[in-house]
Each structure stands twice: as C-alpha cells, then as structure tokens.
Amino acid sequence: MPIFFHILNHNITPIFILIGLGFILSKKFTLDIPSLSKLLFYLLVPSFIFVNLYEAILRIAMLKIFFCGVLLLIANDILGRIVSQIRNYDVGMKNAFKNSIMFNNSGNIGLSLIILIFSSAPFVVEGETPYLDEAITTQLMILVLQNISSNTIGFFNAGRATMTVKDSLLRVFAMPSIYAIPIVFLLKHLEFDMTQTALWPALVYLKNGLVPISLLTLGAQLAKTTFDFKSVDVHLSVFTRLITGPILAGFFIFIMGFHGVVAQTILIAYSVPTAVNTALIAVECDSCQDFASQAVMVSTIFSAVTLTLAIYLARIIFPI
C-alpha cells in the first residue's frame, strides 16, 4: 500500500495537475493546438532524443535490451492488427489503436519511476544505490527506442488515415527527430565535445521542456475532446496496454534470458500507460484525436493500480 500511494503522489498526480492546467487554460483562452504540436515535434522532441542519445553510454550488452524492445514493438503491432481485424476498424482507427498499445509513457512516468524504485528500499545497501545506474541505463535504452519509433512509425501509422503510403513516408522524413539520430552517432565518434558549445545548454533547455509542454498540450486537446466513458475501443486499448503489455514483456524477458535489475526494469517499463505522444501525433495528423486522447487519460488513471502490481511481481519473479 505505501508503494501505491507513493506512485500516486509522486508520478500520477503531478501528471494530472499539468494536464488539468492545460485543460483550464484551453477552456479560458484560445490555445492553438496545432502550433503547440509543431513546437513539440520540431524542437522539443528532437532535442530530447539528441541529448539523451549523446549522454548515454552505449555498450554492446545494451543492444540486447534494444532488440528486446524492437521485438515487443513487432508483437504489439501484430496484436493490434488482430484486434483491429476482429473489431472491423477502418485504417485510421486500426493505426490509432496500434499506436496506443505500441508506444508507452517511458519518459515522464517510466524513467522517474525507475529512479524512484531503485534509489529506495530494498535496493539501498549501506546508504548506496548499487543497482540504480544499471536500471537507468536499461530504461534509457527503452526510452530512446520508444521516442525514435513513436516519432517515425507512429507518425507513419497516424498519417495512413488520410494519406497514401508515399505521403506518409514523406511526412516521417520531414520530421527533425529522424535526423537527430545519425547526427548524434556521428558526433559521438568525432573528437568533438558537444557539451562545451553554446548550443548544448539550449538543447538541454528544450529537452527539459518536453514533458511539461506535452502534458499541457494534452490537457488543451482534452478540453476539445468529446468523451465517451463507455467506449469499448478505449477500454480494449487500455487493457491491452496495461495487462497484455506486461505479459508480453515477461515472455520476452524469459526468452532472452534477462534477470535481476535488467529484467525488473524491462517489466516495469512496459507496464506504464500509453504515451502522451500518441495523442499529440493524432492531433498533428488529424487522425482519431478523441480516441487517442482518451486512451492516454484512461490508461494513466488505471496505471496507478496496475503499475503497483507490476512492481510487486517484478521483485518476486526476478529477484536480485
């Protein structure tokens, strides 16, 4: 029970405060949501990916975690296609549903949650946190993959509702995030310290603005959303993300032989709710905005319970 209230107070409640502020502002003033989404996808998201990748110490062992994440993306994509076939979704709804289960909130919930868990009892030994670095590195690999894929595959999926395959691909290649990745790897292999330039603090400021601006924008979008709390599609998405998602993650953890800190981190990372980005991408592409926004909200609410269970099970199934 203490874990539940800690997650609720330190992870879930702050998110809803920011979403609520965005909701109130949008009701009181006229906020231009398309402009906010462009600010996010053309400045904040690429800066976030760039800074995290540049600062990350990438080891060969971490590629196994990255590969596990790729397999989970594929598995959730297939699962989304199966559900869509059963429910007879059109192209737009099928891809919105796939986005809602493929991409999770590994940033402002996942990363902060992992830091909280592995820097507190029972993972503190004589005042030290010996497992924290390994947990953060594992979470960062998942975070980078989720951000890259949501801003490429996610955009492609959302764009397919109103565009041809060619136009959807052109939309993906028009996003700065896709170019941040090769630039980072190029700079990491050059004898050049990016952190000593005047550009670095600006990129860090932009990166730090991603979470609050994303949540405020989601709140503004929700103010214009027509809610349907009886929507089977929303509840099906939430069940798949919060229940089926961790089960799939557990399956791949066993298959790939992860254990201890890494296994616990992966299971928890894939138990978090639907990514806020999925709703913002839906706004940017004008595709199933109401469904995407509600999937984020409802999954975040229910994750207060399911995340607590996932943390408890992770400690039992994958002891250190």
Whether the CB-CB separation of 319 and 264 falls below 8 Å is answered with: no
Quick: pLDDT tens for 245-262: 999 999 999 999 999 999
Q: What is the pLDDT of residue 201?
A: 94
Q: What is the pLDDT of residue 71?
A: 95
What is the set of domains in the chain, with CATH numbers? Answer: 2-317 (1.20.1530.20)
Mean pLDDT taken over the chain: 84
pLDDT above 80 for 269: yes
Written as one letter, the residue type at 232 is: V
CB atoms within 10 A of CB 5: 11
Whether the CB-CB separation of 256 and 68 falls below 8 Å is answered with: yes
Q: Is the peptide bond before 122 cis (omega within 30 degrees of 0)?
A: yes
Residue 183 CB burial class (10 angstroms; 0-12, 13-18, ≥19): middle
Q: What is the pLDDT of residue 180?
A: 83
**Per-residue pLDDT band at 50 (split at 50, 70, 90):** confident
Quick: pLDDT tens for 187-241: 888 878 888 899 999 999 998 888 788 788 878 877 877 777 788 999 999 999 9
Give the contacts of 225 (CB within 8 A, at least 6 positions apart).
289, 290, 293, 294
Q: What is the pLDDT of residue 108?
A: 65
What six digits make up the tokens of 247? Answer: 């089960």
For 3-17, 155-169, 171-185, which range has the lowest pLDDT when averaged over its residues? Answer: 3-17
pLDDT above 80 for 172: no
Give the separation between CA 262 and CA 125, rounded to whole angstroms.
18
What six digits make up the tokens of 256? Answer: 């790939």
Quick: pLDDT tens for 72-104: 999 999 999 999 999 999 988 999 999 999 999
pLDDT above 90 for 243: yes
Q: What is the pLDDT of residue 12?
A: 67
**Per-residue pLDDT band at 270 (split at 50, 70, 90):** very high
Compute φ and ψ for 189, nearest 5 degrees.
Answer: -100, 0
pLDDT above 90 for 283: no
